Amino acid sequence: MSDTAHDVERPIGGLTAVSNALVALHKEQFGRGPTSARSNYAGPDTLVCVFEDALLPAERAMVEMGEHHRVRESRMWFQVATSRRFIDAVEGIVGRTVYSFASATDPERGVVMEIFIFERSDGANDGDGRGALDGR
């Protein structure tokens, strides 16, 4: 373990549980799940989940037609409609409150990314828009 305050040891099993739960949600919400999933922490308060081969057959057909933007747009609306389910699943496994959630889709590669930012224990997410680097 590193000497820096930001390095935190986390059990790998929790990351597998997050990946499995989100794959199950993708299957439930979209009719099929990705063929590959992995979740990793990107610092003490950020969790990034990457899903490959995540597009539906109709979405792949749209990509072949050059309609990448329509796939991105429809996926964005799907995620807006179902975001609470994804947040609840991650909070239940990780045991932390999600401060912010975003989803992105790369239609060309068939990759979906789910990004969770957790509330910080030091109170820096107090809603005033200032980050820890502001020094205020």
Inter-axis angle of helices 57-64 and 68-94, to 10 degrees?
A: 140
Rounded Cα distance, 26 and 113, in Å? 12
- For residue 73 the two structure tokens come to 């747009």
Task: Specify the pLDDT at position 135.
Answer: 45
Task: Specify the pLDDT at position 74.
Answer: 93
Q: Chunk the chain into consecutive blocks of 10 residues (it has 136) and report each block's average pLDDT, rounded to whole numbers.
A: 41 84 93 94 96 95 96 92 95 96 96 96 58 47
Q: Domain limits of the chain?
A: 12-120
- Collect all residues with Cβ–Cβ distance below 8 Å to 30 and sequence separation of at least 6: 56, 78
Domain 12-120 has CATH 1.10.3470: no
- Collect all residues with Cβ–Cβ distance below 8 Å to 20 and sequence separation of at least 6: 37
Q: Which residue matches tokens 């909070």?
A: 91
- Collect all residues with Cβ–Cβ distance below 8 Å to 35 and sequence separation of at least 6: 52, 53
Its pTM stands at 0.80
